[in-house]
Structure 1
Amino acid sequence: MVERNYSDAKPDLTSVTRLPSADKSTGDEELDAARLEARKYLDFYDWVSDIKGEYLGYGADGIIYIFLFEIVPGRPEVDPWIWVIVGDVPPTYLPAVDAKTPYEALDGYIGAMEEWVEAARRGDSVADLIPVNVPASPANAEMLDSRLKFLDERVLPELRE
């Protein structure tokens, strides 16, 4: 097994906003609901022992939220910094070692989801691709594809600036 050194894997914390502790509201109902969804998504995984800190990388009400979590890993091979993307898209996580900024996280998300869309359109197995919480059907692929195009054309350029 190859061991990763996470000492230099820290994301760019200048591109995110620290959120208050989990027991405090941000004052924004949509943001708080998305934050709760992201925390619940992370709680599903046994490799997350605890959440030490949370940051907002980007938010577009009702469309997409990109959060950065600093976790206490439950296993040594797990990166302590995890991006979680939620909203009107399938939720997912990305290790921050693979994406240092919200832009890189969303760009990686779009790319991984596009692979899923193409496989679902062809009727290929999606077992080794990013998990998506709907059946891999051509109809679901088309719905997701339209959301991905919106993110790629409208949201990603905002994050690049």
Structure 2
Amino acid sequence: MDEIEFDNLTEIEDLRCVLNLQAKAQKYLENFEWCKSVKNSWCDKAFSIYDKIGVFLFEIEPKTNEVDDFVWIVVGDLPSVYLDKSIKSGSECLETYCDLMQDWVDNVMKKRSLAESYPIPVEPTMKNAELLMTRISFIREELLTSE
């Protein structure tokens, strides 16, 4: 992730970043066949950082009754992920996100199968695993430990 001078960002720039991440999260969500439409969305600002990471809860109209009507989405300068409504908070969402990403990183680094890992749309290289590890570490150290 690039360095950000947080003190120099205005409230309007902050809002623009959140709206851009929300649009990215909604587009990601709408690409799934099980999402008929988006009804509402909320940003958990305590766990979102400008254009680098956004944690959103979406209320959707699912295509079938077997699909949850609420879905968490994590987007930003990292792999996007959706999580079901069993997740109860932004912090739990990010903790689960880190666990899923850590599993992928561990399997790549140990050259194990990714069949049971959350699908991440990048080549499973050491470089990509290392890049993802830096983001996981940042989330754990800067967002989850400061609660």
TM value normalised by structure 2: 0.85
User: What are the superposed Cα offsets for residues 108-157 of structure 1, whole Å, 9 maximum, x if unpaired?
Assistant: 00001000000111222213211212111111101100110110011112
Aligned to 1:12: none
**Stretches (4+) displaced over 6 A:** none
Aligned to 1:75: 64
Query: Cα RMSD over matched residues?
Result: 1.8
Number of residue pairs matched by the alignment: 134
Alpha carbons 2:14, 2:50 under 8 Å: kept: no
Aligned to 2:30: 43
- 1:102 maps to which of 80, 84, 90: 90
- Identity value in percent: 32
Per the TM alignment, residue 27 of structure 1 is displaced from its structure 2 partner at its CA by 7.9
User: What are the superposed Cα offsets for residues 11-31 of structure 1, whole Å, 9 maximum, x if unpaired?
Assistant: xxxxxxxxxxxxxxx982111
User: What are the superposed Cα offsets for residues 56-79 of structure 1, whole Å, 9 maximum, x if unpaired?
Assistant: 113211321000000111122111
Aligned to 1:132: 120
Residue 115 (structure 1) aligned with residue 100 (structure 2) = no
Alpha carbons 2:18, 2:51 under 8 Å: kept: no
Q: Take 1:86 and 1:150, find their aligned partners in 2: how far apart are those partners?
A: 15
Higher helix share: 2
Aligned to 1:3: none
